[in-house]
Amino acid sequence: MWSAAGPGTVSAINKTIAILRSNGVNVEDAPFPAEVNDADELKRVQKFITLGEAQASFLREYRLDKAKLADEIRQIVENTSNVTHAAKMEATVTFCKMRGSISSLVKSYSIIITPSAVDEAPLGLGNMGRATFNTLWTGFHMPVINTPAFVGSNGMPIGITLVGPRYRDQQLLQTSQVISKMLMAKGGWKLWD
């Protein structure tokens, strides 16, 4: 997934590493375990799970008045992609195994630093951007905090995501408060007063 990162995000990650190191924080590369490192397999598994959950979630609205639903939602409920129940179940089992591997990796660190988005936040409200870098953390049940620390070429924020070990939400909140202050002090993004 790192290949999906735009120039603003790549720069933000590099600046984050430099800022943290200049403040005495030990930063090291934490590569994903082999079973999670195949981006295509991870996307496939997430897609099947998301389709299955969306299909169940929107079924009631579909039955009440499918004409009020967007075409994309109707297609999911109608399973136009022909994803079988067996494929969805296999994806769920695979993702649970991945979750265990990632959980073992993350608990070895105070936090994991990862991109928040592909690049700088889009202008306006018509496009909320893609969840390329966030979907997997939700599925892995990891606590996540996004810090809008840097400024892109359009004056919009470029965020950094801080991920904590499972069931360590309070630890992440405390750590991210310190890390976010460091990053925002030198990253250029200012919160409104």
Name residues whose C-beta falls within 8 Å of residue 69's C-beta, 6 or more positions apart in sequence: 58, 61, 62, 77
The pLDDT of residue 62: 95
Nearest to 150 by CA among 8, 25, 23: 8
Last residue of a domain, one of 108, 132, 162: 108
Q: For the chain, how long is the longest CA-to-CA vector?
A: 58
Strand partners, 112: 163
User: How many domains are there within the chain?
Assistant: 2
Q: Are residues 59 and 13 in the same domain?
A: no
Classify residue 45 by its DSSP letter.
H
Give the pTM.
0.82
Angle between helices 169-187 and 7-22 (to 10 degrees): 100
Q: In whole numbers, what is the pLDDT of the chain averaged over residues? A: 89
Q: 3-41: per-residue pLDDT in tens?
A: 777 788 899 999 999 999 999 999 999 888 888 888 888
Q: Are residues 166 and 179 in the same domain?
A: yes
Percent residues over pLDDT 70 in the chain: 96
Last residue of a domain, one of 92, 108, 124: 108
The pLDDT of residue 122: 72
Q: Please provide the distance, in angstroms rounded to a whole number, between the alpha carbons at the two ends of the chain.
A: 35
Q: Are residues 98 and 81 in the same domain?
A: yes
Q: Is 80 exceeded by the pLDDT of residue 155? A: yes
Q: Are residues 179 and 86 in the same domain?
A: no
Last residue of a domain, one of 79, 108, 137: 108
Q: Which residue has the tokens 């930063």?
A: 27
Domain containing 185 equals 1-30+110-193
Q: Is 90 exceeded by the pLDDT of residue 121? A: no
